[in-house]
Structure 1
Amino acid sequence: MAEGAAKAPPENGGGCDSGAGALERGVAPIKPQYLTTKEQFHEFLEAKSQEKPCRKTELDIRGKLYLAPLTTCGNLPFRRICKRFGADVTCGEMAVCTNLLQGQMSEWALLKRHQCEDVFGIQLEGAFPDTMTKCAELLNRTVEVDFVDINVGCPIDLVYKKGGGCALMNRLAKFQQIVRGMNQVLDVPLTVKIRTGVQERVNLAHRLLPELRDWGVALVTLHGRSREQRYTKLADWEYIAQCVKAASPMPLFGNGDILSFEDANHAMQTGVAGVMIARGALLKPWLFTEIKEQRHWDISSSERLDILRDFTNYGLEHWGSDTQGVEKTRRFLLQWLSFLCRYVPVGLLERLPQRINERPPYYLGRDYLETLMASQKADDWIRISEMLLGPVPPNFTFLPKHKANAYK
């Protein structure tokens, strides 16, 4: 998830069958009976352990480039763009386990996988062992994924105050039950994404990683900031390097502030098994190509417009080409443009590389389109969307998630 982002209403499947694998396979996602007591939960796990064990698949993604699960912006069309540019591993947007258990089609849509996603996982958010375990059991029967990730990094109040996301780092008994319960029912590896801790000056990850390893987690991704920090400071890669030793031999991926191949190289020098890329992919999805080819790509405005055109085509294919599908595609495009405008073309930089925490001053591009793409104004993002999807409807409004400016 693009950490710090409040969760917008999830994409629904529109014209692409919603992605509800349960329905496609004849298993209706009806809310199951909850395991309401510790005794019932342990009885359930005991019964599962007595069943004929199946061999859990392995997850070997060391050295791979992992596109983070990005709430709202990490939709299937965007992931297709990143796959084209070299992302090795992709993960669906954060899905709330209780919504899945209640059969909400919009939540099941988040689990849809495109055929180009050869290594693909789904990320679950939840606060309680019974619901998370029952959800994992349902997903194990109904969707085809390579791994399941537990979101223990989400900082937003809506999730945190219910005991999910980052709050699990301070709820070890519940966290352990969730991990062990999910691991018991899944045939695919279980991974976890965490932060350094909850409070800014109280690091917890190094103490938690050996526990996660012993609980059977296959891989952990560490975002180098605490919940309190959000994006106020740079990611702490020195601390991530310390945590590599604490996690060993379990693979640890690092996440935070990677916007160039130099940033990725520096990250790998810490000893991490690989890097996860979040905001960097939103600012320039061709970053995966830059890392693999070890170069700075001075991409032209016309090439960038072609990327946006491909995204809109993928969006119409995914959400439908009717009026509703067009406007859904437009809104996801606009959310993405609120990040893309922060990219500064290589040919205009006084020094390389651009840093992710640097906000560029207003500048004139080398042509009209490059200048338009650099605009911080929502009405200019609307103009770009109209080049690709036609005029906005009457009374159209747009409020970007990460910005104060809006279009009315």
Structure 2
Amino acid sequence: MEESNSQGRLSMTEGNIEGGGTAPDPTPCKDTLHPEAKVRLMKILNERQGTARVKADFIDFEKIHLKYGFGSSESHQPPPNSEGDSSKTPGQTADARGPPKKKFKKERGMNHNRPRNRWVPVSEKLCPSIISGEVCSYGERCNYSHDIAAKAAARELDIGDRCYNFETFGKCRYGVVCRFGSSHLTEDFRNITDEEKFEANASKSATLNNLAIDLKVKLRKKKVKFEKAEQFLSLLAKSKKKSLRQFDQNEIRNGAPEETRCLSSTPGTAPSNLPTPVDEVGQNSVAVDQESTANQNQVLESGSVQRDAATNLGPDDAAPTLAACQATSNQSGDCVPLASQQPRSGIVTNQDIIRTRKCEKKQVNFEGKSYLAPLTTVGNLPFRRVCKRLGADITCGEMAMATNLLQGQPSEWALLKRHSSEDCFGVQLAGYFPDTISKCAELINTYCEVDFVDLNVGCPIDLVFQKGGGSALMGRANKFEDIVRGLDAVLDVPVTVKMRTGISEKHNTAHKLIPKIYDWGASLVTLHGRSREQRYTRTADWNYIRQCVEVAKPHPLIGNGDILSYEDVKTHLENSGAAGVMIARGALIKPWIFTEIKEQRHWDISANERLDILREYTNYGLEHWGSDTEGVEKTRRFLLEWLSFLHRYIPVGILERLPQKIQERPPYYVGRSDLETLFSSTNCADWVKISEMLLGPVPDGFQFLPKHKANSYS
């Protein structure tokens, strides 16, 4: 097969791409490299560590030759250091060599001084009420513009003639500002509604966990009450010893305090009608020693546990005390219901007195499921919808900071949104202290629909680590314990923990913490096989994950790291014994990995099929972020962030050795079509070209720099 040069392989007509037809074959180029040079280059590439094995027919030797030289093996070696510099002449002094060169410092992030889009003042935006055809309740006091005629006259050219929101829901809520408005606007710019389709979808709420305006106001005015969290924090502050802390935690979790629960007549034994705290974590029941019971009674008598039970009592009734409860118990230790002594009218629930115990919580079965990891920036709702359609079983939202959620920041609450197609969905919280995280968890438990809450103990970025959050919690065991216990106390759904092997690269600590984490109340631990210092620059240590699986038994443990094919999943599950795997970067590089896992095959996906996936993503983005100019550019930004990972995929048909490894960097190669070659480009300008195929031309002066620097190649 003849190779194409870099100029020829990117020259394609827009009609071939937008029409969705098959892209033409690569344009052949003049082969000027000697065959012996190709052989030498192939030998160097095959011996080079961290380089993927690509078939020789697809390698772009011309581009490799221009970058590395005429196949010289010396040109592939790293530059010599100051101690072994071969360029030094014997007897040459330091002064003769000139001033020493500055040491190259590798950038650790790409989110510094990134170009930003122009901020549009509120006065230039059309009022949302006017867009939807309603009357603005603020009238002249509204900060938005109400001049529809001026906005219609200044409309930008439409991107396309088909509006996804209008075709899906029967009405586009962006009206005159929609960039696809020609499909649902009249000549006088009135919004058209497909009544039949709109009524059929009116009752369907596609997006859940939206931040209500009244809740946002209450959060900002600090008028939201956190009864469960305040009770736990009060008990935590008064319980200095570990035994008392264990007692207080289970007391909140079990429900009513000792005043409303009947104890056995014999001191030092567990109640006959309730499981002991140890039973709830799956272990055999044990008797409570007399010293612990005495301490518990002391805490109760001192008034450390004061629960308001007046909601189920009359105005003249008093809350039942421990003595009253013991007085109404029979000789066998069974408690006589208080309702029989104090008749009431109507149905009285006990949710405010006896809260959900751990054994009564809704459990999530993670075993054997494909779990999409919480991915900052790129793991947004449209991307999760794509992965869900391709076979993902469990999804989790992006990392959300507990403090920002408590402040009612809409941008942070947007990370908790859930699509109706996500049948098993969780949110991930990050924070520094038990009070903020427990209050935030209670807030989510009350106002959001989630199946589990994940605690982030693996975030390696300095901004979070230096404040004591993320992976820093692995070095703050006491705070870590209080946070997990607080989550378990206030939540009615399971608590999961995502962590790393440790903080230091040479000192793993996860195996010491994992058994304790389950004792503290967590239902599942997900272990990323790298430390905080390693980030993504080393291979995930699945041997250490296997050790942690052993210490975690009989509890389940999920492994995470370096999964890019169904063979990786099969190998790691068999060798480590983990209950399942979490897929992170592998889903960004090839989201169809979930299909491969379910079907147990390598999918040689075509370039046009990959373009259809991107088109599906942009449609979901226009639905989620909006089809106006602001929504289109936001969709474009997140699409480009995803393309910064997606270009690393190497098509199955051009690989010499399967499967592709996540640390392997491909040599310069030519795809089987111009579109496939474009998808493999590492140039940001080519990613912008792909976005223009789907979202139209970029604004004047547009620049893009990826937020995450892909430094994970070997």
Task: Name whichever of 156-165 and 394-403 sits farther off.
Answer: 394-403
Report the counterpart of residue 92 of structure 1 in structure 2: 397
Report the counterpart of residue 273 of structure 1 in structure 2: 579
User: Which structure 2 residues correspond to residues 198-213 of structure 1 after superposition, within 5 A?
Assistant: 198-213=503-518
User: Which structure 2 residues correspond to residues 9-28 of structure 1 after superposition, within 5 A?
Assistant: 21-23=210-212, 28=218
User: Which structure 2 residues correspond to residues 252-331 of structure 1 after superposition, within 5 A?
Assistant: 252-269=557-574, 270-331=576-637
- Structure 1 residue 361, shift from structure 2 partner: 1.4
The alpha-carbon distance between structure 1 residues 22 and 186, as it changes in their structure 2 partners (threshold 3 A), is farther
Instruction: Provide structure 2 residue ranges, at least 5 long, that are not aligned to the other structure.
Output: 1-107, 115-172, 175-204, 239-247, 257-352
Residue among 42, 52, 75 paired with 2:354:
52
Distance in 2 (CA, whole Å) between partners of 1:5 and 1:247 is 34
Distance in 1 (CA, whole Å) between partners of 2:471 and 2:215 is 35
Which amino acid in structure 2 is aligned with residue 23 of structure 1? A
- Structure 1 residue 182, shift from structure 2 partner: 1.1
- Structure 1 residue 26, shift from structure 2 partner: 5.7
Distance in 1 (CA, whole Å) between partners of 2:206 and 2:410 is 10
Report the counterpart of residue 377 of structure 1 in structure 2: 683
- Structure 1 residue 353, shift from structure 2 partner: 0.5
Residue among 638, 641, 662 paired with 1:332:
638
Q: Is structure 2 residue 368 aligned with structure 1 residue 74?
A: no
Distance in 2 (CA, whole Å) between partners of 1:294 and 1:220 is 26
- Structure 1 residue 161, shift from structure 2 partner: 0.3
- Structure 1 residue 57, shift from structure 2 partner: 1.2
Report the counterpart of residue 660 of structure 2 in structure 1: 354
User: Which structure 2 residues correspond to residues 88-237 of structure 1 after superposition, within 5 A?
Assistant: 88-237=393-542
**C-alpha offsets along residues 171-223 of structure 1, whole Å, 9 cap, x if unaligned?**
01001000001110000000000000000111111110100111110001000
- Structure 1 residue 155, shift from structure 2 partner: 0.3
Which amino acid in structure 2 is aligned with residue 375 of structure 1? S
- Structure 1 residue 379, shift from structure 2 partner: 0.3
Which amino acid in structure 1 is aligned with residue 648 of structure 2? R
- Structure 1 residue 60, shift from structure 2 partner: 1.2
Report the counterpart of residue 341 of structure 1 in structure 2: 647
Distance in 2 (CA, whole Å) between partners of 1:330 and 1:253 is 33
Report the counterpart of residue 701 of structure 2 in structure 1: 395
- Structure 1 residue 403, shift from structure 2 partner: 3.5
The alpha-carbon distance between structure 1 residues 190 and 267, as it changes in their structure 2 partners (threshold 3 A), is same
The alpha-carbon distance between structure 1 residues 5 and 244, as it changes in their structure 2 partners (threshold 3 A), is farther
- Structure 1 residue 29, shift from structure 2 partner: 3.5
Which amino acid in structure 1 is aligned with residue 553 of structure 2? S
Instruction: Provide structure 1 residue ranges, at least 5 long, that are not aligned to the other structure.
Output: none
Distance in 2 (CA, whole Å) between partners of 1:264 and 1:287 is 10
Report the counterpart of residue 282 of structure 2 in structure 1: none
User: Contact (CA 8 Å) 1:309, 1:388: kept in 2 or not?
Assistant: yes
Which amino acid in structure 1 is aligned with residue 212 of structure 2? L
Which amino acid in structure 2 is aligned with residue 193 of structure 1? K
User: Contact (CA 8 Å) 1:29, 1:101: kept in 2 or not?
Assistant: yes
Distance in 2 (CA, whole Å) between partners of 1:403 and 1:110 is 22
- Structure 1 residue 21, shift from structure 2 partner: 3.6
3-state SS of paired residue (1:151): strand
Which amino acid in structure 2 is aligned with residue 281 of structure 1? A
- Structure 1 residue 144, shift from structure 2 partner: 0.2
User: Contact (CA 8 Å) 1:196, 1:205: kept in 2 or not?
Assistant: yes
User: Contact (CA 8 Å) 2:388, 2:422: kept in 1 or not?
Assistant: yes
The alpha-carbon distance between structure 1 residues 121 and 113, as it changes in their structure 2 partners (threshold 3 A), is same
Distance in 2 (CA, whole Å) between partners of 1:22 and 1:371 is 43
Task: Name whichever of 287-296 and 306-315 sits farther off.
Answer: 287-296
User: Contact (CA 8 Å) 2:208, 2:420: kept in 1 or not?
Assistant: no
3-state SS of paired residue (2:385): helix
Which amino acid in structure 2 is aligned with residue 306 of structure 1? D
3-state SS of paired residue (2:418): coil
The alignment covers a number of residue pairs equal to 398
User: Contact (CA 8 Å) 1:23, 1:29: kept in 2 or not?
Assistant: no
Identity rate of aligned residues, in percent?
64
User: Is the radius of gyration larger for structure 1 or structure 2?
Assistant: 2
Distance in 2 (CA, whole Å) between partners of 1:6 and 1:251 is 36
3-state SS of paired residue (1:92): strand
The alpha-carbon distance between structure 1 residues 5 and 192, as it changes in their structure 2 partners (threshold 3 A), is farther
**C-alpha offsets along residues 253-297 of structure 1, whole Å, 9 cap, x if unaligned?**
000000011100011111100000000000000001111111111
- Structure 1 residue 5, shift from structure 2 partner: 7.3
Distance in 1 (CA, whole Å) between partners of 2:571 and 2:252 is 47
User: Contact (CA 8 Å) 1:19, 1:108: kept in 2 or not?
Assistant: no
- RMSD (Å), alpha carbons: 2.6
- Structure 1 residue 40, shift from structure 2 partner: 6.9
3-state SS of paired residue (2:398): coil
The alpha-carbon distance between structure 1 residues 61 and 300, as it changes in their structure 2 partners (threshold 3 A), is same
**C-alpha offsets along residues 70-94 of structure 1, whole Å, 9 cap, x if unaligned?**
0000000000010111110000000
Distance in 1 (CA, whole Å) between partners of 2:401 and 2:111 is 11
